[in-house]
């Protein structure tokens, strides 16, 4: 038996330096794994009793070439050498299983064997001395033979025996172990060992043995979990769960409701058979119904699926601290009409046909093919179905024939999971920050031209008249992008380069031609995961896909003179502008962002006055600006959806700058409330209307209340009509977000009534963590885990279906571009950013900072 378990505790890929140099974030931990019978050997030494695999493998013909685990990898004697190899590999975790019959020679507590405990204590000591954390599995298929003679996993008393064994392990090894798995892949034990008879103990009971085995596994797992939870957790602080082998099932015909049902049913009759009871209570309903129905037709007066009592349901339900799963491959599921009644079988109960995809690479094992996207689909599916909070991938690997360990197929398999083909890297820029050519080619003035030409508004009085001169050097920029190896470039359109004063009667063909030329070449600037901004032809000629932002803060000055984002007519002007851009550039663009970071425009430009147009209206201007930004976005989305989408097939959304907020005191309910409120008064102000409809309720309530106390007869927050709510709601095809940093949120008592302010409306205090690395920008610190927390939060809150991180980066001072801080920031983040060689004009700061 070849060892199959390669444990990947967290798997993500970051890029640092050259794009070919891969580095994983420091917050991720990697491990490898083995199972006692597969690697230990020493099968009859130091008091170990026989297991079902000793018996099974000693019967000629049961194992290919009649090999057995008597010696195996001889880890029982060579564990120190094994740990040295693990240390040399650089892994941080090692998952191994305990041999039950090495602790209790015949599986019962009256045959306790101290020598077995001493062996595992020595192994754990060796691991910890070498900086490797143990992850321990109580049972990995090697049941003591004596317990099998008593009925094994078909005997309801097995749960009590397992509980006694688990208690001894927790007591002796528990102080040194933080992660426990009670039972490894119970589905494999039950299906292969008690159903098909090809694993130990070799029983072929395909119609009922599998279900009885599953029933007793779940009771045994719950017993072990409850013992730890009640007797050891308070002192030892570990986490316990069961694990399952889980595959992702694609419907054979993605448009067929029957095949979609088959995919769901295939999961429920496999991993779901165990997970549903643990994470939801009871068997999956489809399993209950189908087994009962077929049992009746087969002549049974009862269901072949054992029925849990309510007490058992309550006892098993919730017996997890995380979700552990073994992921290897995917399958395609097809609906099948119910088979004729014949010999009972779980496969006939399931009633689906599963197959592989002939295009998937194959391994040395007939069942193991490679489908990297299936891992993401499966994790998303399980997260949505069970919401377990934490995942650990406890196994994932690739089999090869002997002599092929230094092989390309394993390298390709493992690397494909971290950088799957569907993941693409990009860089980005914004028109005013990089283009220059501010008064060329028919371009009219924007609010940033006006604002930056006023002395004192920008540090060192710099401006964007030339910026990176991308207007003239876009071909060089695209060549740089091509050399970087990016596949996507996000850029923004200068509204006043298309309509000189922002209105349709000042249409400028030269501006359209510039962006068409860019799209056919390629572009410049920074940031990853999808930010674009340049000319279409040049980009496409270099195989770089454009992602286009319609508005990135540079409003035509004429429209500002008409009231800018405080004028309700701005939505109509924006709609006319968007229509022209879609008509001209739309055939070449598949991803659109209508408005970049409306929160930044409204807060800094119309609230604090530090960005163009420089208005300080902190109490009401921000809300009016937000109201009109949302209406303008919805207008642009609806125009594309109704007039262009059918022919062009693109996707449109708005984007937001979003931070992850931690409670200052994680035990404080008030600080937990402050986290939610801080989010809702920032990114939620925009996202809620788009993804759910209307403002966040907490914003509506708090602004109305403080407005009343301030003497207003109405709320400073504009009220959407029902027509506007319906018009804005659902105006997204994906969630685009700019992620840079995190913050702590702390509850604050309501401030006295003074000058109205969004910050007083919000009523929270935010701060950073002094331990977080700092950049050249005072607001930008590095917190890689926050990215994951934030994405999980947003996915749970809005369930948008697709995310694109449109900005993420790190600022340094001039001369520091080849710097360690940027390398560490980018390599530690989940979605990385990459810079080109040129500086961009950093709004309100000028040129000093490099991103």
Answer yes or no: is 35 within a domain. yes
* DSSP string for residues in 402-420: TT-SS-HHHHHHHHHHHS-
* 556 SS3 class: strand
Residues 6+ apart with CB under 8 A from 418: 11, 12, 13, 22, 24
Cβ partners under 8 Å of residue 362, min gap 6: 368, 369, 370
Q: Is residue 558 part of a domain?
A: yes
DSSP state of 191: I
- Quote the domain boundaries for residue 433: 426-658+734-740+769-828
How far apart CA 622 and CA 773 sit, in angstroms, is 31
Beta bridge partners of 446: 556
pLDDT at residue 480, rounded to an integer? 77
Q: Report if residue 756 sits inside a domain.
A: no
The confidence score (pLDDT) of residue 824 equals: 56
Rounded Cα distance between 22 and 419, Å, is 10
CA angle 635, 636, 640 (to 5 degrees): 115
Residue 307 lies in a domain: yes
Which of 769, 779, 689, 685 lies closest to 728, judged by CA?
Answer: 689
Give bridge partners of residue 330 from the DSSP assignment.
248
Is 45 tagged catalytic? no
DSSP assignment of 151-190: TGGGSTTHHHHHHHHHHHHHHHHGGG-SEEEEES-HHHII
Q: Round to whole Å and give the CA distance between 332 and 43.
A: 40
- Same-domain status, 450 and 304: no
CB 225 within 8 A of CB 197: no
> Angle, nearest 10°, between helix axes 285-297 and 257-268?
90
Q: For residue 234, list its beta bridge partners.
A: none
688 exposed, middle or buried (CB, 10 Å; 0-12, 13-18, 19+)?
Answer: buried
Do the beta carbons of residue 32 and residue 394 sit within 8 Å? no
Of 126, 133, 148, 185, catalytic: 185
Q: Do residue 406 and residue 492 come from a single domain?
A: no
* Biggest CA-to-CA distance, the chain: 93
Which one-letter DSSP state was computed for residue 110? G
Extract the runs of DSSP E, i.e. beta strands, from 11-111: 14-15, 22-23, 31-33, 93-97
Tokens 């941080």 locate to 92
**H-run or E-run covering 657:** strand 655-663
For position 4, what pLDDT does the model report?
30
Q: What is the pLDDT of residue 373?
A: 84
Distances (CA, A) of 112 to 106, 107, 118, 292, 379: 9, 9, 12, 42, 40
Coil vs helix vs strand at 514: helix
SS3 annotation, 727-760: HHCCCCCCEEEEEEEEEEEEECCCCCCCCCCHHH
pLDDT of residue 31: 83
| 296 annotated active-site | no
Can you state the percent helix, strand and coil of the chain, rounding each to 5? 45, 15, 40
- Residue of 133, 268, 597, 824 marked catalytic: 597
CATH code of the domain containing 554: 3.20.20.80
Together in a domain, 94 and 236: yes
3-state secondary structure of 603: helix
DSSP-assigned beta bridge partners for residue 323: 391
In a domain, 376, yes or no: yes
How far apart CA 840 and CA 429 sit, in angstroms, is 8
Q: Are residues 403 and 453 in the same domain?
A: no
- In this structure, the answer to whether residues 404 and 547 fall within a common structural domain is no
Over the range 43-64, which residues count as b (16 or more CB within 10 Å of their CB) and which as e?
A: beeebbbbbbbbbbbeeeebbe
Both tokens of residue 609? 């006055």
- Coil, helix or strand for 658? strand
Q: Is 559 among the domain residues?
A: yes
Last residue of a domain, one of 395, 418, 441: 418
Contacts of 733 (CB under 8 A, 6+ apart): 651, 652, 653, 802
Alpha helices in 47-189 (DSSP H): 52-57, 75-89, 100-103, 114-129, 145-149, 158-173, 186-188
Q: Are residues 209 and 265 in the same domain?
A: yes
CA-based nearest residue to 11, from 802, 790, 788, 734? 788
Asked which of 389, 418, 447 is the last residue of a domain, the reply is 418
pTM equals 0.55
SS3 of 533, please? Answer: coil
- Tokens representing 32? 């490898």
* Residue 807 designated active-site: yes
Q: Is 550 helix (H, G, I), strand (E, B) or coil?
A: strand
Reading the block at residue 517, the tokens are 């030329």
Residues 457 and 403 in one domain: no
* Same-domain pairing of 120 and 225: yes
Distance from the Cα of residue 643 to its chain's centroid? 34
Kindly state the tokens that stand for 424.
Answer: 């693409």
Query: What are the mean pLDDT values of the chain's consecutive 10-residue runs (851 residues total)?
Result: 31 28 55 90 96 96 92 94 89 94 96 97 96 96 96 96 98 97 97 96 95 98 98 98 95 92 97 98 97 95 96 98 94 91 94 93 88 88 92 85 64 56 62 78 91 86 80 78 74 92 94 85 31 50 85 95 94 97 94 96 96 94 97 98 97 95 92 96 97 97 96 95 98 94 93 93 95 86 86 92 86 62 50 30 34 37
Terminal alpha carbon distance of the chain: 52
Q: Which pLDDT score, from 0 to 100, does residue 482 have? A: 73
Confirm whether 802 is a catalytic residue: no
Check whether residue 379 and residue 481 sit in a common domain. Answer: no
Per-residue pLDDT, 143: 98
Last residue of a domain, one of 370, 396, 418: 418
Residue 578 in contact with residue 594, Cβ under 8 Å? yes
pLDDT at res. 467:
74
Pick the catalytic residue: 264, 545, 560, 807? 807
Mark whether 40 and 85 lie in a shared domain.
Answer: yes
For position 543, what pLDDT does the model report?
A: 77
Tell whether 402 and 505 lie within a shared domain.
no
pLDDT of residue 194: 97
Q: Is 418 exposed, middle or buried (0-12, 13-18, 19+ CB in 10 A)?
A: middle
H or E element, residue 229:
helix 209-231
CA distance linking residue 574 with residue 28, whole number of Å:
44
Cα dihedral across residues 260, 266, 268, 271: positive or negative: negative
Residue 651: inside a domain? yes
Look at the chain and report how many structural domains it folds into. 2
Decide if 2 is inside a domain.
no
Let me know whether 397 and 462 are in one domain. Answer: no
Q: HSE (CB half, 13 Å, CA atoms) of 92?
A: 10
């Amino acid at each position: 038996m070849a060892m199959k378990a390669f444990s990947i505790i967290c798997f993500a890929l970051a890029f640092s330096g050259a794009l070919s140099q891969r580095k994983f974030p420091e917050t991720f931990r990697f491990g490898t794994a083995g199972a006692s019978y597969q690697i230990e050997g020493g099968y009859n030494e130091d008091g170990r009793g026989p297991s079902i695999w000793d018996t099974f493998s000693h019967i000629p013909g049961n194992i290919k070439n009649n090999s057995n685990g008597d010696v195996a990898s001889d880890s029982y004697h060579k564990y120190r050498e094994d740990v040295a190899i693990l240390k040399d590999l650089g892994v941080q975790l090692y998952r191994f299983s305990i041999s039950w019959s090495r602790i209790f020679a015949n599986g019962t507590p009256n045959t306790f064997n101290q020598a077995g405990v001493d062996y595992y204590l020595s192994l754990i000591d060796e691991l910890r001395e070498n900086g490797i954390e143990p992850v321990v599995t109580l049972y990995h298929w090697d049941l003591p033979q004596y317990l099998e003679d008593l009925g094994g996993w078909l005997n309801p008393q097995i749960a009590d025996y397992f509980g006694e064994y688990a208690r001894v392990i927790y007591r002796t090894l528990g102080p040194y172990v933080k992660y426990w798995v009670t039972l490894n892949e119970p589905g494999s034990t039950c299906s292969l060992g008690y159903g098909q008879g090809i694993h130990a103990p070799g029983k072929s009971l395909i119609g009922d043995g599998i279900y009885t085995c599953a029933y007793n596994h779940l009771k045994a797992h719950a017993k072990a979990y409850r013992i730890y939870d009640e007797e050891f957790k308070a002192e030892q602080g570990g986490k316990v769960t069961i694990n399952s082998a889980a595959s992702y099932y694609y419907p054979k015909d993605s448009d067929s409701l029957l095949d979609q049902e088959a995919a769901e049913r295939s999961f429920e009759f496999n991993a779901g058979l165990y997970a549903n009871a643990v994470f939801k209570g009871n068997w999956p309903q489809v399993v209950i119904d189908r087994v009962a129905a077929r049992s009746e037709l087969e002549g049974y007066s009862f269901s072949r699926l054992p029925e849990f009592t309510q007490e058992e349901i309550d006892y098993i339900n919730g017996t997890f601290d995380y979700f552990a799963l073994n992921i290897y491959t995917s399958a395609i599921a097809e609906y099948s009409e119910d088979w004729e009644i014949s010999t009972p079988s779980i496969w006939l109960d399931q009633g689906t046909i599963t197959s592989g995809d002939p295009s998937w690479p194959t391994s040395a094992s007939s069942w193991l093919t490679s489908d990297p996207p299936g891992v993401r689909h499966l994790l998303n599916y399980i997260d949505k179905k069970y919401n377990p909070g934490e995942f650990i991938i406890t196994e994932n690997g690739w089999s090869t024939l002997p002599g092929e360990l230094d092989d390309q197929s394993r390298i390709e398999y493992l690397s494909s999971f971290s950088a799957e083909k569907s993941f693409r890297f990009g860089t980005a820029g914004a028109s005013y920050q990089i283009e220059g050519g501010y008064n060329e080619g028919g371009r009219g003035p924007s609010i940033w031209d006006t604002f930056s030409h006023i002395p004192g508004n920008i540090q060192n009085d710099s401006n964007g008249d030339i910026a990176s001169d991308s207007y003239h050097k876009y071909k060089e920029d695209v060549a740089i992008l091509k050399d970087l190896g990016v596949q996507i470039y996000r850029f923004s359109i200068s509204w006043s380069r298309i309509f000189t004063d922002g209105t349709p009667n000042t249409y400028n063909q030269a501006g359209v031609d510039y962006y068409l030329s860019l799209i056919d070449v390629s572009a410049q600037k920074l940031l990853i995961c999808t930010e674009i901004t340049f000319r279409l032809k040049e980009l496409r000629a270099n195989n770089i896909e454009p992602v286009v932002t319609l508005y990135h803060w540079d409003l035509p000055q004429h429209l500002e003179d008409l009231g800018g984002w405080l004028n309700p007519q701005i939505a109509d002007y924006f709609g006319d502008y968007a229509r022209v851009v879609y008509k001209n550039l739309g055939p070449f663009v598949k991803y659109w962002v209508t408005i970049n970071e409306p929160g930044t425009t409204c807060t800094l430009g119309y609230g604090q006055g530090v960005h163009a147009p420089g208005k300080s209206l902190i109490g009401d201007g921000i809300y009016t600006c937000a109201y009109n930004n949302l209406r303008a976005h919805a207008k642009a989305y609806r125009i594309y959806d109704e007039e262009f989408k059918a022919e062009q097939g693109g996707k449109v959304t708005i984007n937001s700058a979003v931070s992850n907020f931690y409670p200052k005191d994680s035990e404080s309910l008030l600080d937990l409330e402050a986290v939610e409120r801080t989010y809702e008064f920032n990114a939620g102000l925009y996202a809620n209307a788009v993804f759910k409809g209307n403002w966040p309720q907490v914003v509506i309530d708090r602004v109305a209340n403080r407005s009343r106390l301030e003497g207003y007869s109405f709320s400073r927050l504009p009220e959407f009509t029902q027509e506007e709510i319906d018009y804005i709601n659902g105006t997204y095809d994906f969630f685009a977000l700019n992620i840079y940093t995190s913050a702590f949120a702390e509850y604050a008592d309501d401030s006295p009534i003074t000058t109205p302010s969004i910050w007083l409306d919000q009523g929270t205090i935010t701060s950073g963590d002094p331990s977080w690395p700092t950049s050249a920008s005072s607001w930008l610190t590095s917190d890689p885990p926050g990215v994951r927390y934030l994405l999980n939060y947003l996915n749970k809150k809005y369930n948008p279906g697709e995310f694109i991180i449109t900005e993420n980066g790190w600022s340094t001072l001039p001369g520091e571009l080849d710097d360690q801080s940027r390398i560490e920031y980018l390599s530690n983040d989940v979605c990385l950013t990459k810079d080109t060689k040129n500086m961009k004009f950093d709004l309100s700061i000028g040129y000093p900072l490099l991103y």
